Amino acid sequence: MVSTRLAFLALVQPVAMLRQRPVLHRAFCAAARGPAVRMSEQVATGGRKSAAVTQNEQAADGVEKAPRASLDRNPQRGTRDFYPEDMQLRTWLFDAWRREAALHGFEEYDAPLIESIELYERKAGEDVSVQLYNFEDKGGRRVTLRPEMTPSLARMVLGRRTSLPTPIKWFSIPQCWRYERTTRGRRREHYQWNMDVWGVSGTRAEAELLGAAVGFMKRVGLTAGDVGIKVSTRKVLAELLARLGVPDDKFAATCVLVDKLDKLPAAEIKTALVEGGLAPAAAEELLAALACRDFEGLEATLGADSEALAELKSLFALAEAYGYADWLVLDISVVRGLAYYTGTVFEGFDRTGELRAIFGGGRYDQLLSTFGAEDMPAAGFGFGDAVIVELLKVKGLLPDLSASSKCEVVVSAFAEEQAGQAAGLASALRDCGVRTDLLLETKKMKWIFKHCERVGATYVVVLGDDEVASGVVKVKRLVDKEQFEVPIAELPMWMAAEQQAA
């Protein structure tokens, strides 16, 4: 009787305790249902088991495991992985953009990758909503990955409008996202060099922007024979449509249609214009005027007192002064797809016709009013990374970046006992600005020399017992196989001097 009572208490007391500790209580109950070993697993993991543990148990119990699907090793469609060699090219390109922006006195800015979807729904005349990577965040806010940078810039300018001195000359290199059909040079994510000038109402802003774009292209080896820049102004279309009696509320939609002239047959554009409310004769006259490619023909169409004509002549005169007029092509059909452009528009193009637009931009003086604020004159451009890399590849102008990733010296310990001394030596070399690759495992000399060849090292240093004891290390110059004996304490300065001599 006594033994029965003690056994009962031994069971009841732990249960009472476990009810005050839910995690242990669950473990206790699980143990009551299965082998004792499972209780210890549950207690150790806080009452939870990993999928791997469960699968192992099933296998032990004779239950066949479901086959695991193989991992898709490709990035999402329209996106890219950047392996080290890809990052070298991207870094080179971004550095070239930054240098050009700095040469023109622009300051760099950035903004969050995620923005309120309202920034893009305010735009009229072009439905970008179908291309947005949009979702609702955990706070119930409607947000999207930015498809472009200009609305974010407008938001930032509005945030400090009263304190920002004008002109504002800013640039950025944002990653942008659009869910659209992928083609050569067009991806669903891309980086874009954006340059913008705020607070300048004349064509001098556009001339400076074009000067930066051309300056960059010249510095990477492109010429006016490789890339042309189509130039027009929205004012040409405004004057033509006003003369043809097209109402203002049709202007943005007409711009979007005209922007497709290089993508669709003129007959299809004419049909769309007529369906949009234009008389057939007016549509024909509009298309004929858009085919004009010189100032004489444009003056005959618009009249000598045309504001649009004066604006274009001013920009071309400034291009002559800058020295890049041979890059420009008068093309009235260029209106750009973005509905907020109000004046000058331009688009860089591959003269062979193989690639899509290289870059594009223009004037957008009325963007701030779409956010309920007073407008400010502004102009800018966007220059995508994917297309320019494709063009440089076609022209054979991609840089050789193999030297940029080379380390100068490889340091290795001969055995594990010298690992600390090797690490200290590598740190001392790095402190002197010497690019040093420290081997993190002990390897045979044949492997070390192969590694030096792979990373492009100029020198190799191997620390063994003799070197540590004597305080003198042997340095091998791999180019000519010459060997030097250098005191370990003096090696960083010796290597820095070798760098300067080279």
Note the pLDDT tens digit of each residue in 49-76. 444 444 555 545 555 666 677 888 888 8
Q: 11 pLDDT exceeds 50?
A: no
pLDDT attached to residue 183: 74
At residue 30, the pLDDT reads 43
253/382 same-domain check:
yes
Q: Which residues pair with 190 in a beta bridge?
A: 176
Residue that terminates a domain, selected from 394, 424, 458: 394
Please check the confidence at residue 214 and state whether its pLDDT lies above 70.
yes
* Cβ–Cβ under 8 Å, residues 203 and 316: no
Phi-psi category of 413—alpha, beta or left, where left has phi over 0 and alpha has psi -120 to 50?
Answer: beta
> Same domain for 295 and 273?
yes
Q: Are residues 303 and 438 in the same domain?
A: no
Residues 433 and 479 in one domain: yes
Across the range 202-211, mean pLDDT stands at 97
Tell me which long-range contacts 360-363 makes (C-beta under 8 A, separation of at least 24): 360/336, 361/209, 361/336, 362/206, 362/234, 362/336, 363/205, 363/206, 363/233, 363/234
Domain assignment of residue 73, yes or no: no
**Are 125 and 218 in a shared domain?**
yes
The span from the CA of 150 to the CA of 364, in Å, is 10
Are 410 and 382 in the same domain?
no
Residue 26, domain extent: 2-60
pLDDT score recorded for residue 166: 94
Q: Is residue 24 in some structural domain? A: yes
Number of domains the chain is built from? 3
**Do 51 and 167 fall within a single domain?**
no
Per-residue pLDDT tens digits for 277-315: 888 888 888 888 888 889 999 999 899 999 999 999 999
Which CATH number goes with the domain that contains 473? 3.40.50.800
Q: What is the pLDDT of residues 308-362, one digit of tens each?
A: 999 999 999 999 999 999 999 999 888 876 667 889 999 999 999 998 899 999 9
pTM, entire model: 0.79
Using a CB cutoff of 8 Å and minimum separation of 24, what contacts does 298-304 make? 298/236, 298/330, 298/332, 301/240, 302/236, 302/239, 302/240
Is residue 228 included in any domain, yes or no? yes
pLDDT digits (tens, 9 = 90+) for 74-128: 888 888 888 889 999 999 999 999 999 999 999 999 999 999 988 887 654 455 6
Same domain, 421 and 372: no
Give the residue from 394, 426, 447 where a domain finishes. 394
SS3 of residue 318 by DSSP: helix
Does residue 75 form part of some domain? no
Based on the fold, state whether residues 191 and 271 are members of the same structural domain.
Answer: yes
* CB distance 350 to 226 below 8 Å: yes
DSSP-assigned beta bridge partners for residue 409: 436, 459
Predicted confidence band of residue 254 (pLDDT cuts 50, 70, 90): confident
Mean pLDDT of 238-261: 81
* Gyration radius from the chain CA atoms: 34
Strand, helix or coil for residue 171 = strand
Residue 399 covered by a domain: no
Q: Does 190 share its domain with 318?
A: yes
Distances (CA, A) of 409 to 218, 353, 398, 445, 495: 35, 47, 27, 15, 9
Boundary of a domain, candidates 360, 394, 428: 394
Q: Same domain, yes or no, for 178 and 204?
A: yes
321 with 346, same domain: the answer is yes
> Is position 67 within any domain?
no
Residue 172, pLDDT above cutoff 70: yes
The residues, ordered by sequence, that sit 6+ positions from 306 with a Cβ below 8 Å of its Cβ are 239, 298, 299
Residue 400 inside a domain? The answer is no
pLDDT at 459: 96
Residue 71 located in a structural domain: no
